[in-house]
Amino acid sequence: MTYDPVSANPLHGNPLQTRADVEKGLRDLFAPLLPYFSAGGARVRLDGAGAHFDRAAADLEGFARPLWGLTPLAAGGGTFEHWELYRQGLANGTDPDHPEYWGEVNATDQRMVELAAIGFTLKLLPHLVWDPLPQKAKDNLAAYLVHARRFDYADNNWKFFRILVDLGLDQCGVEFDRSLTEKYLDELDGFYLGDGWYRDGNVRRIDHYIPFAMHFYGLIYARLARPDDPRVAIYKERASQFATDIEHWFDEDGGALAFGRSLTYRFACGGFWGALAFADLEALPWGRIKGHFLRHLRWWSRLPIANRDGVLSIGYGFPDLFMSESYNSAGSPYWALKAFLPLALPEDHPFWTAEEEPAEFDAEPVPLRHPGMVMMHTSGNVVALSCGQQNWQMRHGAEKYAKFVYSSRYGFSVEADERSYDQGAFDGALALSDDRRHYRVRETNESARIAGDRLHAVWKPWSDVTVETWLLPASPWHIRLHRITTPRPLHATEGGFAIARADMNADRYIDEPGRGAAISASDVSAILDLSAGDKREGRAFRALPNTNLIVSKTIVPQLRGEVPAGTTLLATASMALPAGAAAEAALAAPPALPDLAELEALFAREGVDVSAILVPERF
């Protein structure tokens, strides 16, 4: 029988319906790591690939990240046979004279990230990881943490890492400068936008770090801080507001919107739902929170996300270094274990006793001004129309933040060759070329506005070329209008949604003027030219392998054509649905070309800046 890579996923076959199922999932995820602990217990090295930080920090990452799941397990009364291994690791990793010493922190350092999990563990489980240590080991561990927290952390969600370390130090009776704690708590408030939303630092990014970092750590703080701390109520109120928006980043099957960086953390995206439970915050009915949480884990249980030995891979829907960031080491994916925070709760907590409720989304678009998105729920999918975000600092930043549309079911693609315009996937994007070899896509916006459930942006692929883009929901379709002003002729390629490609060319393709479509056994994706006059050529493009986040081989319907010098208006409709009657009906009823003058008048009356763009970030 042919090997099925899904079978290596430790969650595969787990029904993930009860607390016992979730606990089993955590244990099955941790078990493949045991052979890779070093002799002294302080390092976990999983493969030979590198990250931008040194190997010792990567080994610490492999050691510490499982604690995000193991600590709640023990706090909730679960047994774990390897706390002695972790005690050895803590002692040896912080001993400057031991060969497995993690190395000293003397500046902003990846070690600061990983020490947060240790602080969390010290706070919840001092009887397991602090009290049994010999005094020398206690002194070394305390000195290591106190020294590391003195230095500046990255100016984003990292500031919470000092807070978590401080919670642990306080629990263990270690003295430290508490003014630094208050300083960072105040500075974190500076990232708050309102309505429950933060930005992740003073950048044009409002991504999954808001639920799985800013709110996740805030809710941990709300549970573990002194009850009279005023931030407890503030963090809970913000999370309550946020929950009613962020649930629209999840589809009815549990898939999360594929958007932004650090997606190799996978089911950490569901950590927010578990953090609500941990903080005993019924921001939505418990059954609805539980439904989002469990469906998300089940969604991941069906994908080939692990290597043959059961170790989680770098990637998203499958092992894939193309999509990774320079800070991803082999231990990075284990931030996914943040999802297991509700194991700290007893079986009789209302989160666990509630009846799981379905998502019950409707087809009405949901505008979200802060991230600059309009959400659309379709069968087994959530789509985000998007304007206003950017990421110049990281690999594939344009693909991860600046496409026009993102999806939970169909993910997005990263480009494999910036010097091969004709081989670009360009799903959810418009690529322009002036030499048919190199290309430009939207990387940033000069302006980004929202009016009702419509978005508008101005962007400049070159200093002398200006594009205005309008995005409109027309469920299950969406419409894109691009007014391009250029002093020279260009060539344009615009992509729809990428769907999985079958072996042996078993899919059906439509390549014709004005329309490109791909029809598979499971999905239908189409892109139509609504422009007046001559139509662009449609094609169902077989994208380069391993460029999409969810499946390794895809087809992307595209429209391609010339853009003359002067001003040109391109109008596009795109949709993707599971194969079946609904998809056939959608193909037969495409949306009409909207009236541009009416759109301009709408934005003149009602348009407001999206929050994401309201910082002066420049390259």
Rg (C-alpha) for the chain, rounded Å, is 25
- For residues 307 and 303, give the distance between their C-alpha atoms in angstroms, rounded to a whole number: 12
Rounded mean pLDDT, 511-536: 96
Q: What is the pLDDT of residue 485?
A: 98
* Torsion angle (degrees, nearest 10) of CA 90, 38, 5, 523: 40
For residue 592, pLDDT beyond 90: yes
Number of other CB atoms surrounding residue 38 within 10 Å: 18
Bridge-based pairing of strands 192-194 and 465-474 is unpaired
Q: Judge whether 5-353 and 366-613 match in fold.
A: no
- In the block, which residue shows the tokens 């002003």? 485
pLDDT tens by residue, 163-198: 999 999 999 999 999 999 999 999 999 999 999 999
Average pLDDT over residues 235-249: 98
Q: Which residue has the tokens 């059961």?
A: 310
Question: DSSP 3-state assignment of 38?
Answer: coil
Q: How far is CA 319 from CA 164, 299, 546, in A?
A: 31, 16, 9
Helices 271-278, 286-301: axis angle to 10 degrees equals 140
CATH architecture of 366-613: Distorted Sandwich (2.70)
8 A C-beta contact, residue 65 and residue 262: no
- Give the separation between CA 123 and CA 178, rounded to whole angstroms: 16
5-353 is classed in which CATH architecture? Alpha/alpha barrel (1.50)
Instruction: Please give the single-letter amino acid code of residue 444.
Output: T
Cβ-based neighbours of 570, under 8 Å, separated by 6 or more: 430, 480, 481, 482, 484, 492, 494, 529, 531, 536, 563
Count of helix runs (H) and strand runs (E) in the chain: 18, 20
Widest CA span in the chain: 80
The arrangement of strands across the sheet holding 508-512 comes to: 508-512, 515-519, 523-529, 566-578, 477-486, 465-474, 454-462, 447-451, 608-609
CA-to-CA separations, 401 to 397, 422, 542, 617, in angstroms, rounded: 6, 22, 23, 14
Q: How confident is the model at residue 113 (pLDDT cuts 50, 70, 90)?
A: very high
What distance lies between CA 306 and its chain's CA centroid? 18
| Contact call for residues 205 and 389 (beta carbons, < 8 A) | yes
Domains in the chain: boundaries: 5-353, 366-613
Calculate mean pLDDT across residues 288-309.
Answer: 98
% of the chain with per-residue pLDDT over 70: 100
Determine which helix (DSSP H) or strand (DSSP E) holds 454, and give its type and residue range.
Answer: strand 454-462
Amino acid sitting at position 328: N
More confident residue, 618 or 129: 129
Q: What is the mean pLDDT of the chain?
A: 97
The pLDDT, as a whole number, for residue 477 is: 98
Q: What is the pLDDT of residues 368-413, one digit of tens each?
A: 999 999 999 999 999 999 999 999 888 999 999 999 999 999 999 9
Backbone angle region of 566, left / alpha / beta, with phi > 0 → left and psi within -120 to 50 → alpha:
left
How much is the pTM?
A: 0.97
The mean pLDDT value for 436-452 works out to 97
For the cut 70, the answer to whether the pLDDT of residue 62 exceeds it is yes
Exposed, middle or buried, 473 (CB in 10 Å: 0-12/13-18/19+)? buried
Element (H, E) at 559: strand 554-563
Indicate the pLDDT class of residue 505, thresholds 50, 70 and 90.
Answer: confident
Q: How many Å apart are CA 84 and CA 599, to the nearest integer?
A: 65
Whether residue 618 is predicted with pLDDT greater than 80 in this model: the reply is no
The average pLDDT across 529-552 equals: 96
Beta bridge partners of residue 528, listed in sequence order: 515, 573
Please count the other Cβ atoms lying within 10 Å of the Cβ belonging to residue 435: 9
- Position 619 pLDDT exceeds 60: no
Strands (E), 366-413: 366-368, 373-378, 381-386, 405-407
> Could you tell me where the beta strands, DSSP code E, fall in 228-336?
none
In this predicted structure, what is the pLDDT of residue 1? 87
Query: What percentage of residues in the chain have a pLDDT greater than 90?
Result: 97
What's the one-letter identity of residue 317?
G
Q: How far apart are CA 127 and CA 105, in angstroms?
A: 27
User: What's the average model confidence in pLDDT over 41-45?
Assistant: 98
